[in-house]
Structure 1
Amino acid sequence: MVAFGKRLKQTQIEEWQGYYINYKILKKKVNQYTRQIENGSGDHLLVLKDFSIMLDNQLEKIVLFMLEQQGLLAKRLSALREQQDTSFQQGSILDVSEVREAYQSVGQDLLRLLFFVEMNAIALRKILKKFDKRLGYGFTNYYVKTRANHPYSQLQQIFKHVGFGAVVGAISRNLADLQDNQGSYVSIYDQPLLHLQDPVVTSIRVAVDRLTNSTNFLHFMGKHAMIVQEDLPSPPQDDVDEQTFDLMSLLLNLMNTFLYMVNTYIIVPTADSYSLSLGAAATVCGAVIGSMAVAQMFSSVYFSAWSNKSYKRPLMCSSVLLLVGNVLYALAFDLNSISVLLIGRVFCGLGSARAVNRRYISDCVPPKLRMKASAGFVTASALGMACGPALACLFQVKFKFFRLTFNDDTLPGWFMALAWLVYLVCLCISFKEPPKPEFNILSQESNRGQKTHNTAENGLEQPLLEGSEEKKQDDDDEDDQDYDQNDDDSEENHKPATSIVAAYRLLTPSVKAQLLIYFMLKYAMEILLAESSVITGYYFKWSTSSVALFLACLGLTVLPVNVLVGNYISNMFEERQVLLTSEIIVCIGIVLSFKVGFPYSVPQYVISAVITFVSAEVLEGVNLSLLSRVMSSRLARGTYNGGLLSTEAGTLARVVADGTITLAGLWGESRLLNTTLFPSLLICISSIVATCFTYNSMY
């Protein structure tokens, strides 16, 4: 892959080259600072001051040029408005198509300017990250803290600007007035939900949202899927051929996600009673539930590697393993064996194909559908989480058939075995194996080496400046080559990580803090869900149906919460602000869950559970959305990708939480609640501290 500095050069608009951030000279300056520090001749304060001044000058150059271009666009729009008014006053016939083309031309130039700002914003983030990694000064923390909140912040003009709003509004309003349906409404302001069907306006809206980190429910849910995107906007010649895309295969891929989540949570309401019926303690439910997560930690890596060669075969293998696992889970009752029960759940965990589900969406879905498919992945998971306990609520029967017992303990296993059998048949018949990922990877490398680049929406093409003299200018000086060999911009370091250890080394402190947050929220949620049947049975004598109904209601809050966050909260506040606030609320929910002194009541349990679960859901969405943006682009590809790391962090949290429940059961059910909540509280406090230390790096 081409190094970032060269890719930045390739995508520059030729006539604007002098106004881009000088990434090359900034990188050379970082190399110079590195040599000074290694030689013992560098001064911490002088380095910070010198580099800050350089960045300030670069930002000022970009912002002033941006304002100048906005003024030119405004002047053109003003001239068009005068032309329309003059034609109206003189009663002359206005050539609507000509005026529409003029507005669209302004829109195309606005897209060029938006792309210019976006590339500079990406370059700024990259150089800040590089400085921190090479010198270890925490420069990003200092620079963002001192610049971002200043009333005259030029940094905010780049990342959170508002200057484009008037230009976008003028183009949108006038193009709407020139549409064929003119007169069906007064203006776009009277019908804000009526989207203008003009590709230029649509492209502008998407570009502005991407640049300002504004979002909606669809994009928020898509990021929630943790399918990490490339660090530069994708060219229109994408690596996925739309002709090879098969909708039925995508639906079967999402169905695998849904059924697996149903399989995970359908046994939660009855795991304690099943354990008791086999002669074990009720708290062994933690081991029963957690054994699936233990196996999933290993299967995720295996299936992720397998998906480099095929998608259909790992999905078929997953279905077979889950079919066998559920049959064993159901047979454990008649065999009176807790071992068979645990083995059955291990088989179910070995059948986890979530890594394949993510890779299929990332590699095989066309770009215009990828965000919708990612949102579908998250929605399928959420619905499966809610449907699992709801189905368990329906299995309140008991009968025998050919010496096999069917009751509320075994029916979840038999039902899921049948579901996986039907799914396996549909998979064999209808799933179409897409082109091998190796072919796609080669296509990606070929496309990225092309002479053109663009935003995914606007079709803007710029020729790559080429020639022996310019090629020499792009190469770093010989003095910097030793540093660039280990630099993030070197071609070697743009290859995907080849191991978990290599992937871990790519994580910055802020990303590590966010993975800790993800571990914390999954731990807190697993403690809440996995021990719910034991806690409610001990304190409130709830039946299996009551527990299942309560868990189903909790699961149903997932989609409404994400709608609220995606459409409103994430657009009103910075994601890092929502992140820290949600962590604090999770901490409050955990504290309220403790039994201290007075009798434990249903309102206390329900209110604290809702606070913990809902705030954890908000936290998960915002955390993964932010994580998908700041994580290294090398983790967007390959076996050991960002999605796998987040999955492993969440799965490890579930394993530790379920193990905590089982171990805490040794002290008796009366101490289970406080014993399991205490580690959850400590981890939550640790994540809040980590967030505070890395807060200004989450930018």
Structure 2
Amino acid sequence: MFSSSSLCHDASNFWIKMVAFGKKLKEIQIQEWKGYYINYKLMKKKVKLYANQIEAGALDQQQVLKDFSQMLDNQIEKIVLFILEQQGLLATRIAQLNEQQDFLQEHPDIPKISELQEAYRAVGLDLLKLLHFVEMNAIGLRKILKKFDKRFGYRFTDYYVKTRANHPYSQLQQVFKHVGLGAVVGAISRNLADLQDRHGSHLSIYDHPALPLQDPVVDSIKSAVDRLTHSTNFLYFLGQHAFTMQEELPTTAEEHIDDHRYHFMSLLLNLASTFLYMVNTYIIVPTADDYSMSLGAAATVCGIVIGVMAVAQIFSSVYFSAWSNKSYFRPLVFSSIVLFVGNVIYALAYDLNSLAILLIGRLLCGFGSARAVNRRYISDCVPIKIRMQASAGFVSASALGMACGPALAGLLQTKFRIYNITFNQDTLPGWVMALAWLFYLIWLWISFREPAHEAVVINVPEEAHADSNYQQEASTSVTATQATSARSAAAAASVGNDNLEKSLAQPLLLSTAKNEQDEEDDRECDESEEASEESSRPANSLASAYRLLTPSIKVQLLIYFMLKYAMEILLSESSVVTTYYFGWTTSRVSIFLACLGLTVLPVNVVVGSYISNMFEDRQILLASEIVVLLGILLSFQIFIPYSVPQYVCSGLIMFVSAEVLEGVNLSLLSRVMSSTLSRGTFNGGLLSTEAGTLARVVADGTITLAGYLGESKLLNATLLPSLLICVASIIATCCTYNSLY
């Protein structure tokens, strides 16, 4: 006899198991509902036929759009009508149970109350099946839209979403937003909560939405609903910044990471590495211009001093990502040693009076960047149930390090000498960070536990057979009427699908022989394409990863480049600009930069808890880009004297909107990016890291080049590229807006 908790766990993980065995969408369908799923194979075949016909001149673009739209409309309508039918059956069962509950309120009977709870849970399990049905179809729709776009260059998704998604009678919204199912979820949640013993409490789920001791069925339903709606909270939104890539559905290996692979202290060390590296990056920003001048260079050379670390990080991200395929401990040790040496060299450059030594020290710090390992550890070694918390911890550590770096630099305002070694505001950041990395290295050596890199051997036939048995057991909770209705309707739908498939076999070109050959090629292409698409084999080079980038992904990477560029310009030149215009000291610059860093978490609380649930991600994306543009425009120094309020307000607007943009951008990027990029060395996380790092390199180089024009023109000269890139990203977003669905 299984508990409701274990049954619920099995039900919610059934589909995950099937995906883990490499099953295609068609093979993880509920058999009695088979005729109601989207016919992905048929539409994929149709896409190839369209491509051949367009090449042959037999069809034009408008005919393709009209024909495929009608076909997709029919598929969606079939799905939606079935959802409504099942929703009605569930509502009827709940209404009958509600009558029993009313009777029991007047005549309490503990055994019958328990039976009623189990009956509600049975309805909840069937609702969970329906939610998984909707999820499978949503994935199928997104996949076919991606395939069509890849073949025809984003002509279809833009047209289809624009005409269907926002229509008052939209059926597309029924699939992607599961309109109406929320009422069923609410009914089950409320009634199960009311039946629980709350020790005299009369609170309902409406009085207190986060009541403790939620029923496991309700928790599973809530998780399924969240996956469908992409509804967010602060933790989820913050975790998106980490961009720890995952499959569309987690695998069993991800769901059940063994305890011997997950180690809390190792995760803590991983986050500590993230924090220290961000402190290391930004601790020199307030003093880089002063350090450069003390070595005989111009103040704007601070751009190179700050940016050379990012240059090295472009390369270190690749080899650290590759190294993490085999180990996590060794790359973290290597990173700590290199960062220790790099900071010592950076500090000694003052007494050696050498700008080259200074740059070598910062270059070594960049080569010690282990952020790729930090991300990879969270993706591979943290159980999925706490992965979002770990991702949020990664982002919080980064934000805290970004704030602490400048603040710590502001505190190191002293000067003394020991054995001919100078300790002042320029060299102390290097010495302090060297000491910090030495302590970290010792802690790492003592406490870190290397997770086992082991291959998971899966017996597909036995597990698939076991899961098919479970599927039959799970389906017994459906009423006889429901099953009969489903079978008859499925038969009718199957006939319709068969007829539609047969129609594709009709002569489309003149030669029958050629048609047969095309059908044979079609079949082979289907098999190869399906195998390549559903395979979890990662990209093995930057070139192969780049080939997987669709125009929509490229636009998202452009946006990421833009926001990192704008933020780096603001932060890196802050010391030079504020000294020239306002005469700020190092301490004031440090306070300003620390305050900017401290806005990260509050902003994410507001956006993650409220704004992201009120608007679509693509709406927030476009609005944030426009606000970044506004911040850049307000930063220009034109005609009127430049003032502190103008600089602070424009910088705050630019930084905060860029932070909002980053979370939404990475959320959309993870949604439109191919699942092939979720693993391996050249994964989506590496691509986004490279885009952001490249932006920092270009921004710091821009500051140094603009320095040749003089400090009076530095501000406008560096803001102009930011303005142009921001305008380009807004235009690109508008062009691909309807593909971000």
**Cα distance 1:380–1:461, how it changes in 2: closer, same or farther (>3 A)?**
farther
Asked if 1:152 corresponds to 2:198, the answer is no
Letter in 2 for 1:323: F
Mapping 1:70-219, distance limit 5 Å = 70-90=87-107, 95-136=112-153, 138-219=155-236
Letter in 2 for 1:59: I
Asked if 1:595 corresponds to 2:637, the answer is yes
Separation in 1 of the partners of 2:21 and 2:282?
44
Shift of 1:681: 0.3
Letter in 2 for 1:163: G
**Cα distance 1:237–1:566, how it changes in 2: closer, same or farther (>3 A)?**
closer
Corresponding residue number in structure 2 for 1:451 = 464
Task: Flag structure 1 segments of 5+ consecutive residues without an equivalent.
Answer: 464-472
Mapping 1:280-679, distance limit 5 Å = 280-436=297-453, 439-440=454-455, 442-443=456-457, 450-451=463-464, 478-481=520-523, 483-484=525-526, 487=529, 489-490=531-532, 494-679=536-721
Separation in 1 of the partners of 2:608 and 2:472?
28
**Cα distance 1:575–1:448, how it changes in 2: closer, same or farther (>3 A)?**
farther
**Cα distance 1:648–1:403, how it changes in 2: closer, same or farther (>3 A)?**
same
**Cα distance 1:91–1:566, how it changes in 2: closer, same or farther (>3 A)?**
closer
Shift of 1:10: 2.2
Corresponding residue number in structure 2 for 1:469 = none
For residues 656-676 of structure 1, give each alpha carbon's deviation from its aligned partner in whole angstroms, at most 9, with x where no partner exists: 000000011111111100000
Separation in 2 of the partners of 1:462 and 1:257?
47
Shift of 1:450: 4.7
Shift of 1:91: 5.7
For residues 632-668 of structure 1, give each alpha carbon's deviation from its aligned partner in whole angstroms, at most 9, with x where no partner exists: 0000000000000000000000000000000111111
Separation in 2 of the partners of 1:452 and 1:462?
15
**Cα distance 1:124–1:449, how it changes in 2: closer, same or farther (>3 A)?**
farther
**Cα distance 1:462–1:336, how it changes in 2: closer, same or farther (>3 A)?**
farther
Mapping 1:42-61, distance limit 5 Å = 42-61=59-78
Shift of 1:599: 0.5
Letter in 1 for 2:64: V
Shift of 1:489: 4.9
Separation in 2 of the partners of 1:460 and 1:264?
56
**Cα distance 1:533–1:692, how it changes in 2: closer, same or farther (>3 A)?**
same
User: Which shows bigger deviation, 186-195 or 147-156?
Assistant: 186-195
**Cα distance 1:453–1:171, how it changes in 2: closer, same or farther (>3 A)?**
farther
| Count of residues in Structure 1 that have an aligned counterpart in Structure 2 | 681
SS of the aligned residue for 1:490 comes to helix
**Cα distance 1:621–1:531, how it changes in 2: closer, same or farther (>3 A)?**
same
Separation in 2 of the partners of 1:395 and 1:34?
66
User: Which shows bigger deviation, 10-19 or 180-189?
Assistant: 180-189
SS of the aligned residue for 1:405 comes to strand
Letter in 1 for 2:609: N
**Length-normalised TM-score, structure 1:** 0.94
Separation in 2 of the partners of 1:371 and 1:452?
32
**Cα distance 1:215–1:655, how it changes in 2: closer, same or farther (>3 A)?**
same
Separation in 2 of the partners of 1:31 and 1:6?
23
Q: For the Cα contact (< 8 Å) 2:539–2:682, is it kept in 1?
A: yes
Shift of 1:238: 3.4
Separation in 1 of the partners of 2:623 and 2:370?
33
Letter in 2 for 1:451: A
Separation in 2 of the partners of 1:135 and 1:566?
35
Q: For the Cα contact (< 8 Å) 1:11–1:453, is it kept in 2?
A: no
For residues 433-473 of structure 1, give each alpha carbon's deviation from its aligned partner in whole angstroms, at most 9, with x where no partner exists: 1112xx24x45x7679952899xxx999799xxxxxxxxx9
Q: For the Cα contact (< 8 Å) 2:22–2:534, is it kept in 1?
A: no
Letter in 1 for 2:52: R
Separation in 2 of the partners of 1:47 and 1:38?
12
Q: Match for 2:258 among 241, 245, 248?
A: 241
Separation in 1 of the partners of 2:183 and 2:465?
30
User: Which shows bigger deviation, 676-685 or 174-183?
Assistant: 174-183
Corresponding residue number in structure 1 for 2:512 = none
**Cα distance 1:563–1:187, how it changes in 2: closer, same or farther (>3 A)?**
same
Separation in 2 of the partners of 1:566 and 1:186?
27
For residues 548-595 of structure 1, give each alpha carbon's deviation from its aligned partner in whole angstroms, at most 9, with x where no partner exists: 000000000001111111111111000000000000000010010000
Shift of 1:110: 0.8
Separation in 1 of the partners of 2:615 and 2:212?
25
For residues 281-307 of structure 1, give each alpha carbon's deviation from its aligned partner in whole angstroms, at most 9, with x where no partner exists: 100000000000000000000100011
Letter in 2 for 1:609: G
Separation in 2 of the partners of 1:497 and 1:286?
34
Separation in 2 of the partners of 1:195 and 1:619?
34
Letter in 2 for 1:125: R
Corresponding residue number in structure 1 for 2:27 = 10
Separation in 2 of the partners of 1:230 and 1:140?
22
Corresponding residue number in structure 2 for 1:36 = 53
For residues 256-303 of structure 1, give each alpha carbon's deviation from its aligned partner in whole angstroms, at most 9, with x where no partner exists: 111100100011001011111111110000000000000000000010
Q: For the Cα contact (< 8 Å) 2:260–2:452, is it kept in 1?
A: no
Separation in 2 of the partners of 1:13 and 1:321?
54
Separation in 2 of the partners of 1:414 and 1:589?
36
Separation in 1 of the partners of 2:283 and 2:233?
31
Q: For the Cα contact (< 8 Å) 1:5–1:24, is it kept in 2?
A: no
Asked if 1:697 corresponds to 2:739, the answer is yes
Q: For the Cα contact (< 8 Å) 2:300–2:703, is it kept in 1?
A: yes
SS of the aligned residue for 2:296 comes to coil
For residues 497-544 of structure 1, give each alpha carbon's deviation from its aligned partner in whole angstroms, at most 9, with x where no partner exists: 111111111011111001000000000000000000000000000000
Q: For the Cα contact (< 8 Å) 1:269–1:547, is it kept in 2?
A: yes
Shift of 1:214: 0.8
User: Which shows bigger deviation, 665-674 or 228-237?
Assistant: 228-237
Shift of 1:133: 1.0
**Length-normalised TM-score, structure 2:** 0.88
Separation in 2 of the partners of 1:488 and 1:448?
20
**Cα distance 1:307–1:448, how it changes in 2: closer, same or farther (>3 A)?**
farther
Shift of 1:183: 2.5
Task: Flag structure 2 segments of 5+ consecutive residues without an equivalent.
Answer: 1-17, 477-500, 502-517
Separation in 1 of the partners of 2:379 and 2:310?
24
Letter in 1 for 2:70: I
**Cα distance 1:462–1:379, how it changes in 2: closer, same or farther (>3 A)?**
farther
Corresponding residue number in structure 1 for 2:79 = 62
For residues 214-257 of structure 1, give each alpha carbon's deviation from its aligned partner in whole angstroms, at most 9, with x where no partner exists: 11111112222111211235348736223431111111011111
Separation in 1 of the partners of 2:665 and 2:396?
17
